Structure 1
């Protein structure tokens, strides 16, 4: 497997356009059957609208791409079937939470979610709530997902200006380091208290990563590649 490539950029230029995705059209019946099977396994997943990307370009400190709308069922089938068809990527924002004492704070996805058991920073596949006019607002998506998953808000962190774009196969994770004004243990306690107040939280556990020994096989490669780079630069 090709190692992830990390691009550090200052600008995101992500246009949203009405593009027909041949994969979703040509495999519609098979996609519907696949999603029905997944819903039997995890009844809480739903077929909302999401955004996928194409034509990624990194140049002069900018990441540019074009996004288009599709349904979650098509995205899930595309992912589960090994990303078939012409080049499309799943490009999403991630808030790389870093505590005041240097720990990275990650969440473990709950059993009812499509990524059950996976451990990573707060994030989500972009959807229509993240569109502003004809542009995809990844910074806004990061803040929204962070609050939805953890209860933390923009008042709890200082966002660094650069974006670390980790290209790992058909995934591009746009990570922004969010420096918390609290220790790792305090952050975990805050988030756990918020999770306990919810009827069906997206996260089932909070993990603190203070060194390489804290990395787990259930963390996506783009997450571990980013953390490894961060620890190497200290």
Structure 2
């Protein structure tokens, strides 16, 4: 998946949930079910819960407007694994850019039982129905919840930016929330590792620190590398 070389500043999100007849999921349902069954045999912890994907979006005047619809995780996984054949649908997700007081950034290393095993990126993920406030999709709520669940770090541990950095792609839209801690990156990493050790089935396998371009590697998705190369280094 390629991304724009630009990182866009977003000040306001206007995101809602609506009805959508997703042809990809309907027309390829048997293929999708077989694909998920095979994946679940490899990773039994995979769960076919509900997620929110975006089918309308517009960015203008530092505002992202969009409409989500609810679908099965299996449909989302197939969309990704089949190479995003339906370009009208995007995964628009929120991640917390955790920065220590010393300037270092802390990223999560995804656990082996997850869909993105071994990948290294900021904590967060695809929104789900728990991120709904009425018919509004609240990604501010999503990112704070996901960061705390994955890392054990609370929103009160950070000074949280009101806006977002957006790395836009055709099928993936990464919304990155700057979260600056009063502890160093190493201290944050140590707390995350303690949290992982206390969990029966943690989402993360570990945490990595980025201080320069030299710390980037091919386990980091394109949007992570674009973010660092464009904004900070």
C-alpha distance in structure 2 between counterparts of 1:3 and 1:143, whole Å: 25
C-alpha distance after superposition, 1:63-100 (max 9, x if no partner) = 01110000000000110001112511000001000100
Contact 1:96/1:175 (8 A) holds in 2: yes
Aligned to 2:179: 178
Aligned to 1:116: 117
C-alpha distance after superposition, 1:34-60 (max 9, x if no partner) = 000000010000000000002211111
Structure 2 gap ranges (5+): none
In structure 2, the CA distance between the partners of 1:150 and 1:2, relative to structure 1 (3 Å rule), is: closer
Contact 2:2/2:222 (8 A) holds in 1: no
Give the structure-2-normalised TM-score: 0.97
Structure 1 residue 230 displacement after superposition: 2.8
How many residue pairs align between the two structures?
Answer: 232
Q: Secondary structure at the match of 1:15?
A: strand
Aligned to 1:30: 31
Aligned to 1:68: 69
C-alpha distance in structure 2 between counterparts of 1:56 and 1:169, whole Å: 11
Give the structure-1-normalised TM-score: 0.96
Which one is further off, 127-136 or 223-232? 223-232
Give the superposed CA RMSD: 1.1
C-alpha distance in structure 2 between counterparts of 1:40 and 1:161, whole Å: 42
In structure 2, the CA distance between the partners of 1:2 and 1:144, relative to structure 1 (3 Å rule), is: closer
In structure 2, the CA distance between the partners of 1:3 and 1:32, relative to structure 1 (3 Å rule), is: closer
Aligned to 2:205: 204
Structure 1 segments, 4+ long, off by >3 Å, are none
Q: Secondary structure at the match of 2:96?
A: strand
Structure 1 residue 227 displacement after superposition: 1.4
